[in-house]
Chains A and B, each alone.
Chain A
C-alpha cells in the first residue's frame, strides 16, 4: 500500500488563528487525496476531495472558506483551518488512492488539532 505522512501530528492553537496541516504521499503521485475529520469515539466523516491542479470538492455542510484545501503538487495536499474555534478541535486525517485499485484508500497517521 501507499505510504502517507501528515505534519504536524499534534497542534495546539489559540481561538481565531489559522492552522495548516500537510498531507504527503511519499511513494507515488496522488492525483486525488481525501480529507476526513474524526471526533472522539466517532467514525470518520469525509470533508472534501482534493484534486491536483483543481479546486477541491467539499461535502455538504463543510465550509469551503473555513477549511481551505490546496493540492498544488502530486505529492502534497494541505488543509488550512482558518479562524479556528474550539469546536474545530478534532482528529484530521488524509488519505490517498493508488493506481489500479483506486477505490482503496491509504491513510495518513492523522493530526490532532486542539483549539484553546
Chain B
C-alpha cells in the first residue's frame, strides 16, 4: 500500500512568517499534485510536478519534487490570512491517473 505522509499536521503562524510543508513516501510517484481545500468545498489544484528535482513557483508558493520522486515540499513566503486552509499533496499511482492523498496539513495564518 502506497502512503503519503504530510508534516506537520497542523500549523498556526503569524501573518508574514514563512513555512514549509513536507510530503513523504517510500514509493515513487509518476507525478505529484498539491491542492488546497477550504471547509465544505472540494480541493483546488495548485500545482503539478512531474520531473525529479523540479521546482515550481506560484507567487509566494514554491513547490519542489524530490530527485527520486518520493517526496515533495511546499514553501510559503510571507504567509497571509488568505493562505489559511487544508493543504493536500497527492501522488499519482503508476501512471494510472489514480491519486493517493496525503494526510493533509491544516494551516492557520493569524492576522
Contact = CB atoms under 8 A, between A and B. Distances in A.
A67 interface: no
Interface residues of B, number: 24
9 contacts: A43-B101, A44-B101, A91-B40, A93-B43, A103-B48, A103-B92, A104-B33, A104-B45, A110-B41
Contacts, number: 60
Interface string A47-90: 00100000000000000000000000000000000000000000
Ranked 8 nearest A-B pairs via Cβ:
A107-B42, A44-B101, A103-B31, A103-B92, A43-B101, A43-B104, A110-B42, A107-B43
A1 B45 contact: yes
A46 B99 contact: yes
B40 A112 contact: yes
A106 B98 contact: no
| Majority secondary structure of chain A interface residues (helix, strand, loop or mixed) | strand
Interface of A: 1, 4, 6, 32, 34, 42-46, 49, 91, 93, 95, 97, 101-110, 112
| Majority secondary structure of chain B interface residues (helix, strand, loop or mixed) | loop
A1 B42 CA distance: 14
B102 A108 contact: no
Given A43-B103, A105-B33, A49 B98 contact: yes
Contacts of A93: 42-43
B100 interface: yes
B43 A44 contact: yes
A87 to B, nearest CB: 20
B68 interface: no
B45 A105 contact: yes
Contacts of A32: 97
B44 interface: yes
B2 to A, nearest CB: 11
Nearest to A57: B98
Given A43-B104, A105-B99, A107-B45, 15 more contacts: A42-B104, A43-B103, A44-B88, A44-B101, A93-B42, A95-B42, A101-B48, A103-B31, A103-B48, A103-B92, A104-B48, A107-B35, A107-B43, A110-B42, A112-B40
